[in-house]
Amino acid sequence: MRLSAFDEGHLRNGLPGTIGIAAVFPGTPFDLEQVRSRVRERWGELDRMSQVLRPPAGPAALSGHRWSAARPFDPASHITATDQDLDSLLTAGVGHPLPPERPLWRLLVAPHATPAGEHAIVLLAHHALLDGRSLETLFRMLMDDAAPPSALGPAAAAGRPRIKAATVLRELHRIGVPSQPLPPAPADGMRPSVAMVGLDPQTMRTARRQPSGGRGATLNELLLSAYAGALRACYGPLRSWPKGPTPLYATVPVDLRTRHSAGQLGNGVTVLRIPLPVDIASPVDRLQACQDLVAALHHRCDAHRAILPALQASARTVPWLAEVMAKRLARPEITTSLCTAFKWRDSPSRLYGRPLARIVPLPQLSPPGTANLCLVHTADAYTLTVVSHLRAGDAEMIGAAVAQELQAVAASGAAPAARRTEPRLSAPTHAPPAATQPPAAAADR
């Protein structure tokens, strides 16, 4: 079976392509055979989890990769135990591609995940096989009270919206306009780093009631505005950056699945770029600016729904075109920072009776000059993961600065406000302290 243009692009963009999600639990660690049994029961009939990548049959420019089924489903070959902690697992995993001779995912059972004695289950996968939304769907299926795989219906065909040509042209311009990369380090100083930051729940609840007297903020709006403030705090206003006042664009994944196809695995998102208000000094003013930008995403998504089918058909017919587009999108001046946030809405969730403490996301690694962020809210725990390709330690610096910016927003004064919905944004480290734990999906994605 030929890969979709999205899948093919993730293989040809020159990146490792590994993304992940970790579920953290207190109490007694899981038995490895128990986990294998649950995975066999819940994932065994999912075709996507048994697909092996096959190389192009002819010249790569003219022939694409293919998926072939690897049967029978064998969880033992994919699911192993490890003595590594969560920090080490995610840091090692994000920069290393998965073995291509078997389905491009692995599940790790980590009994010593955090210094607080928590244990974790970590799912790593190549982005060509699964997107962030798919990782979340798979983890939900493992939980004790989850719907069986048969309840996940096939994707429903969505009608293509009617969009004016001018709207399409504006969106195509937004896709290609160069961004300001993050400030560079010396040529030999760029290296991947991963940081997990546990955010204070009360701070987050207060920040979400901002701006005072307004409608309240969503997780995505808070993350974007806090990241803008963090960049200003870490690197100064844009006028002091190498490219001067050139805007810095954040890339926001938006899930295109409908409620009828919510359980569909694979790649079902598009990405929208917005200029971050780095040069706005006030935390609340930055938040309001991000709210205005996010409010426009609904209409912009319609433009993507209108143009994506033609782009995908062309790229699938001519694989070298998929490679050209994928490599361009992977450049640091085009995708400088991918930012997403979501809420794990099934709370409480349990696996073999153990309560889920938090979800930790792992965004993919991008080229030097970039940083990707993902924020997840699980029950009363909030975890931010930063994957940077900058100087050593910049992921920790950015994560700490985002936490400080959220505190600044919360301290600005809050009044209860009505929440609103936004487009479902997709999906993406230091182990957070035991006292700071994470759900975010539908309206907060």
Cα gap 166→189, rounded to integer Å: 43
Confidence of residue 214 (pLDDT cuts 50, 70, 90): confident
Identify the H or E element spanning 79.
strand 79-81
Which tops the pLDDT comparison, 163 or 4?
A: 4
Please give the pLDDT value at position 57. Answer: 80
Mean pLDDT of 375-399: 95
Nearest C-alpha neighbor of 400 from the set 227, 256, 239, 274: 227
**Over 80: is that where the pLDDT of 150 sits?**
no
**Over 90: is that where the pLDDT of 75 sits?**
no
Which tops the pLDDT comparison, 342 or 416?
A: 342
Please give the pLDDT value at position 399. Answer: 97
* 3 state DSSP class of 394: helix
Q: What single-letter amino acid sits at 145?
A: D
What's the sign of the alpha-carbon dihedral 426, 317, 69, 93? negative
Burial-class residue 105 by CB neighbours within 10 Å (0-12, 13-18, 19+): buried
Pairing of strands 381-391, 370-378: antiparallel
Nearest C-alpha neighbor of 9 from the set 192, 190, 266, 262: 266
**Over 50: is that where the pLDDT of 155 sits?**
no
Confidence of residue 141 (pLDDT cuts 50, 70, 90): very high
Cα gap 445→340, rounded to integer Å: 7
Q: Would you say 372 and 428 are in contact if contact means Cβ atoms under 8 Å apart?
A: yes
Q: Would you say 361 and 20 are in contact if contact means Cβ atoms under 8 Å apart?
A: yes
> Where are any strands of DSSP class E within 322-366?
337-344, 350-351, 354-355, 358-362
Cβ neighbors of 238 (< 8 A, separation 6 or more) are 180, 244, 245, 246, 247, 248, 278, 279
Q: What is the pLDDT of residues 287-345, one digit of tens each?
A: 999 999 998 887 788 778 777 777 777 777 777 788 888 888 889 999 999 999 999 98
Cβ neighbors of 180 (< 8 A, separation 6 or more) are 238, 241, 242, 243, 246, 247, 248, 249, 333, 336
Please give the pLDDT value at position 187. Answer: 64
The two tokens of residue 66 are 């293919």
Cα gap 248→194, rounded to integer Å: 21
* 3 state DSSP class of 238: helix
Cα gap 322→331, rounded to integer Å: 15
Please give the pLDDT value at position 434. Answer: 35
Please give the pLDDT value at position 185. Answer: 66
Side-chain half-sphere exposure of 312, counting CA atoms within 13 A: 16
Q: How many residues does the chain have?
A: 445
Mean pLDDT of 369-375: 96
Tell me how many degrees the CA angle 16-19-23 measures, rounded to the nearest 5: 150
Confidence of residue 65 (pLDDT cuts 50, 70, 90): confident
Confidence of residue 137 (pLDDT cuts 50, 70, 90): very high
Which tops the pLDDT comparison, 131 or 59?
A: 131
Confidence of residue 445 (pLDDT cuts 50, 70, 90): very low
| Average pLDDT over the chain, rounded to an integer | 85
Give the least confident one: 28-42, 161-175, 184-198, 217-231: 161-175
**Over 60: is that where the pLDDT of 438 sits?**
no
Identify the H or E element spanning 269.
strand 269-275
What's the sign of the alpha-carbon dihedral 376, 361, 338, 255? negative
Confidence of residue 422 (pLDDT cuts 50, 70, 90): very low
**Over 70: is that where the pLDDT of 151 sits?**
no
Q: Would you say 179 and 241 are in contact if contact means Cβ atoms under 8 Å apart?
A: no
Please give the pLDDT value at position 357. Answer: 95
Cβ neighbors of 196 (< 8 A, separation 6 or more) are 86, 87, 90, 360, 383, 384, 385, 399, 429, 430, 431, 432
High-pLDDT (> 70) share of the chain, %: 88
**Over 70: is that where the pLDDT of 439 sits?**
no
**Over 90: is that where the pLDDT of 419 sits?**
no
Confidence of residue 94 (pLDDT cuts 50, 70, 90): very high
Please give the pLDDT value at position 298. Answer: 79
Identify the H or E element spanning 391.
strand 381-391
Confidence of residue 46 (pLDDT cuts 50, 70, 90): very high
What's the sign of the alpha-carbon dihedral 174, 425, 386, 98? negative
Please give the pLDDT value at position 315. Answer: 72
Q: Would you say 152 and 259 are in contact if contact means Cβ atoms under 8 Å apart?
A: no
Please give the pLDDT value at position 310. Answer: 76
